[in-house]
Chain A
Amino acid sequence: MGHDIQNKPFLAKECFGIVPEVSNVYGGFSAWQNLMFAGELYGIPIDQKTRRADVLLDKFGLNDFKKKKAKGFSKGMKRKLTIAMALINEPDIIFLDEPSSGLDVQSVVMLREILRGLKITGTTIFLTTHNIEEANIMCDRVAIIVHGRSAAIDSPENLKKKNQGTQSVVFAFDPVSNYDSLLKIPEVSRMNREGDKCRLYTDDPSSVFSSVFDYARTNNLKLITMNTLGPSLEDVFLRLAETGKQNFEVNKR
């Protein structure tokens, strides 16, 4: 944007909007008054402020609650209002700290649509999240931060490609068996129980497939589902977090 936040915080802050983790709306103000106050802080002329507030209330579905005090709003409504307040100055950059935490599914889908719309209009969006799946579907670039340091920055698919070693085989037996003996298969590096299913991490899924078939046959178990999965962003995160943790401990010493 061309403004150094250290030297010219006033100009730099005018360019961005912030949505903190906790919805910080004024409970004593109505939705409209909250938006007007945010506009006043950014020095937006009254006609522009009212026009933008109208558009934002409409976009976030808060028109019916325009004159109602925000303290009576639900968590999702407060979240929407916080985001609307961050957009009142039409920022070039918007920072969102866990925007979808605690929201219902419908609101999360709506929020994603709004963020996609902002991206199309050229707004740069910084989104911090603990929800890996959200990062996977929302972000062009993902930075994984471990112990305060950026462990990797790339697109989600590139990150997955770099971690091809973490393929997995997911299967379930009927009746549910004790899967522990499957860890003896030489190609299996790790095992996870996921509900009634079992997930075996491997570099060689085809060998694991045949070993699991053999196990099912010898123990007289019915194989009800079996899938091979590529590495998910979650796996990439776990692997990077593990490496990052080891590096952190080595540096500490």
Chain B
Amino acid sequence: MKSESLYRLERELASAWAITKKDIRIHYLTPAVIMFGILFPVFLFISFAIGRDIPLLELIPGLMAITIFFSASSTGPMAVPTERRNKTYDRLITAPISPFSILLGETLGGFIFDDMYCANKFRC
């Protein structure tokens, strides 16, 4: 039989994961985030790269940094204020989850999403 603390940990992680999935679906797959997180860094990159004699391998770390910087600032920090404004944050704090799990879920969403953006670009 599972101990109470193990059950609790499992529930907390499951809830944090549910919040992560929710954030990705609701807050991150929006036109504004895609524009700012993907297209904007690409254009910035092009403006730096074109007409300069820099090897591609030296430019890629810069592209990654710009992508992470822009996508991170348009995802994670937006989710909680948006939820608070729409009063949906109340739903999370009244659910049987600790504030730490809420924060973990919200952070994990931004983390996964930004990495995904970046990995996609790197692959290209």
The interface of chain A, by Cβ under 8 A from chain B, is 9-11, 13-14, 18, 20, 22, 24-29, 33, 37-38, 40-43, 85
Contact = CB atoms under 8 A, between A and B. Distances in A.
B121 interface: no
B26 A22 contact: no
B96 interface: yes
B18 A37 contact: yes
Contacts of A24: 86-88, 90-91
Contact of B86 (A10, A27, A40): A27
Nearest to B94: A18
B26 A41 contact: no
5 nearest interchain CB pairs? A40-B18, A28-B26, A41-B95, A13-B96, A24-B87
Interface in B87-114: 87-88, 90-92, 94-98
B96 A29 contact: no
Interface stretch (B7-15, B32-40, B68-76): B7-15
Contacts of A10: 8, 11, 96, 98
Contacts of A85: 91
Contact of B15 (A9, A26, A41): A41
Contact of A20 (B14, B90, B98): B90
Given A10-B8, A13-B95, A42-B95, A37 B22 contact: yes
Nearest to B7: A43
A99 B26 CA distance: 26
Contact of A9 (B22, B86, B87, B96): B96
Contacts of B11: 10, 43
Interface residues of B, number: 20
Contacts of A43: 11, 14-15, 96
Contacts of B22: 26, 29, 37
Contacts of B27: 28
B18 A14 contact: no
A2 to B, nearest CB: 15
Contacts of A41: 15, 18, 91-92, 95-97
Nearest to A18: B94
A29 B25 CA distance: 8
